[in-house]
Amino acid sequence: MLITIEQVLSPEEVQQFRTRLETTHWQDGQQTAGSLARNVKQNLQIDDNSSLAIELGNHILRRLAGNTRFISAALPSKIYPPKFNCYRDGGQYGAHVDSALMQVPGTSITVRSDLSATLFLSAADEYDGGELEIEGPFGVQTVKLEAGDMVLYPSSSLHRVTPVTRGKRIASFFWIESHIRDEGERTLLFDLDQSIQALTTQLKVNDPQLLALTGVYHNLLRRWAIS
């Protein structure tokens, strides 16, 4: 399932990110592509070890930690430090599947990519092309969000970024290892949690059916979660 999360960053935060990213050094993204992806990847990235990437990445992680929709959708156990890329001048990323296991540089930590995330930092009208196309069970879904918004999609899916023919498409991207490895189970838990949250606004907090549903949610989570 493809889940969008609006306003992970506020317009003011996006502006601060953009100002900082404008003056930094961008390098050829091919340096960090896996061997299969290298032929299809044409973009720019900033050095993951730069103080700017670390600072902005940590800011995103702090925002996500307080985002209930993200927590509900991803049930994260580990998050790969956010990276930053820029597509311009026809830059694109052809169809590929993300690597399954990602070692966090400079550590012995490995993140299994269950979910891929793209957080848009350019407004949709700043550039032409640059759509994220994700192949799913119901065909190809096209994603182009407003600055500050984020999409989560299964890392197992074939996806691509179409050529950017005008302007610049700047984004942050990263991967999440979930407590719930199975996409179907994760989707069921998300749907159940969303319904419980909606009912919480309509029913008394101690409504017996609401308590029962909340119990079902946590007992499914207990049954399926890997820590």
Q: Which residues bind Ni ion (CB under 5 A)?
A: 98
Residue number, 98 or 193, with CB nearest to Ni ion: 98
Handedness of CA 15, 19, 20, 25 (dihedral sign): positive
We find the least distance from the C-beta atom of residue 41 to Ni ion, in angstroms, to be 9
What letter does residue 30 receive in the DSSP assignment?
Answer: G
We find the least distance from the C-beta atom of residue 226 to Ni ion, in angstroms, to be 24
Q: Which secondary-structure segment (H or E) carries 55?
A: helix 51-65
Residue number, 27 or 156, with CB nearest to Ni ion: 156
We find the least distance from the C-beta atom of residue 68 to Ni ion, in angstroms, to be 26
C-alpha dist (Å) from residue 227 to 32, 132, 161, 180, 222: 29, 31, 33, 9, 10
Cβ-closest position to Ni ion: 98
Residue number, 116 or 122, with CB nearest to Ni ion: 116
Cβ neighbours for 217, distance < 8 A, ≥ 6 positions apart: 189, 192, 193, 196
Residue number, 156 or 195, with CB nearest to Ni ion: 156
Residue 219, number of CB atoms within 10 A of its CB: 10
Are 131 and 142 in contact by the 8 Å Cβ rule? The answer is yes
Residue number, 98 or 177, with CB nearest to Ni ion: 98
Q: How far apart are CA 1 and CA 32, in angstroms?
A: 27
We find the least distance from the C-beta atom of residue 138 to Ni ion, in angstroms, to be 20
We find the least distance from the C-beta atom of residue 118 to Ni ion, in angstroms, to be 9
